[in-house]
Amino acid sequence: MSTLLRFRDVWVEYGDRIIIEKLNLDIEQGSFASIVGPSGAGKSSFLRLILGQEAPRRGTIALDGEPLTPECGPDRGVVFQRYSVFPHLTALRNTILGMECEKAPLLGRLFGGARRAAEEEAVAMLEAVGLGHSLHLYPAQMSGGMQQRLAIAQALVKRPRILLLDEPFGALDPGIRADMHVLIRRLWREYSLTIVMVTHDIREAFTLGTRVLALDKRRHDPHAPHRFGATVVYDLPLRARQEEDLDQSENITIDENGNN
């Protein structure tokens, strides 16, 4: 397995507040990294680093051994807990929009044959996430779970290698969340994705991840809460890779303290 993302001595600071401190981390191609940690630890900032939306104050981030470039490019897709999709566009238009960014960055729109091809791809992706019958619905006409399926379709239609998920299922009911787990695991395998998922739900982190990382401060200064930043304080490998039979993970049981 090869390293896809490599962080070396990465620091994130906002003004004089240190958020992430000396982060060293390799993320392997095809892995599913679950990120847990207290609110405000810098988990979303960490995802923004991978997206290229945030530049480290110090340190380096490499993708395939090359310095990470900020771009609205095809290699990274992202889904947030809410508001990933545009309310004034149908499911189909939302999904096509995910492609237009990539294929016509200057134009912003596709025409003619390119447009028809994009539409076909978008329909196929919506079918893959279980929204084949909802192409012309607007987000407001969809349940929370359907909206997250749409957000996933919008992210995946670019065929990214890396899918970033920021508490994607946190607002969903438990039953719906379980359906989403099945979906995301299937997509992870079918599209050979590398997934980095932030979650508050320790059970979800263990159920889905091949690895669970905890982001937190090692040191606290009670008089200066932002004097120290967060880094990886736990790094638990769970299972090998996506080739492995993941149905086994259904049998993982964890107690209230998050122990296997």
Ligand X SMILES: Nc1ncnc2c1ncn2[C@@H]1O[C@H](COP(=O)(O)OP(=O)(O)O)[C@@H](O)[C@H]1O
Can you give the binding site for ligand X, defined by CB under 6 A? 14, 19, 37, 39-45
Partner whose binding site includes residue 150, from Mg ion, ligand X, none (CB under 5 to 8 Å by kind): none
In the bound state, the residue with its beta carbon closest to Mg ion is: 44
Minimal distance in Å, beta carbon 45 to ligand X?
Answer: 3
- Least separation in angstroms between residue 14's CB and ligand X is 3
- Residues in contact with Mg ion by CB under 5 A are 43-44
Which of 16, 10, 14 is closest to 68 using CA atoms?
Answer: 10
For Mg ion, the closer CB: 130 or 170: 170
Return the number of the residue (81 or 242) whose C-beta is nearest ligand X. 81
| H-helix or E-strand spanning residue 22 | strand 17-28
Quote the strand ranges of the chain, DSSP E: 3-14, 17-28, 32-36, 58-63, 66-67, 76-80, 162-166, 194-198, 211-217, 230-237
By beta-carbon proximity to Mg ion, the closer residue of 40 and 73 is 40
Taking the complex as a whole, the smallest distance from the CB of residue 151 to ligand X amounts, in Å, to 18
CB of residue 103 to Mg ion, shortest distance in Å: 30
Rounded to 10 degrees, what is the CA torsion of 94, 154, 148, 244? 160
Q: Which of 103, 144, 107, 152 is nearest to 127 (CA)?
A: 152
Residues 6+ apart with CB under 8 A from 249: 206, 207, 208, 238, 239
Measured from the CB atom, the residue of 39 and 69 that comes closer to ligand X is: 39
Per-residue tokens: 211: 């690895």
Residues in a beta bridge with 212? 34, 236
Give least dist CB 49 to ligand X, A: 10
Q: CB nearer to ligand X: give 123 or 151.
A: 151
Of ligand X, Mg ion, none, which one does residue 33 interact with (CB within 5 to 8 Å by kind)?
A: none
Q: Which helix (H) or strand (E) holds 234?
A: strand 230-237
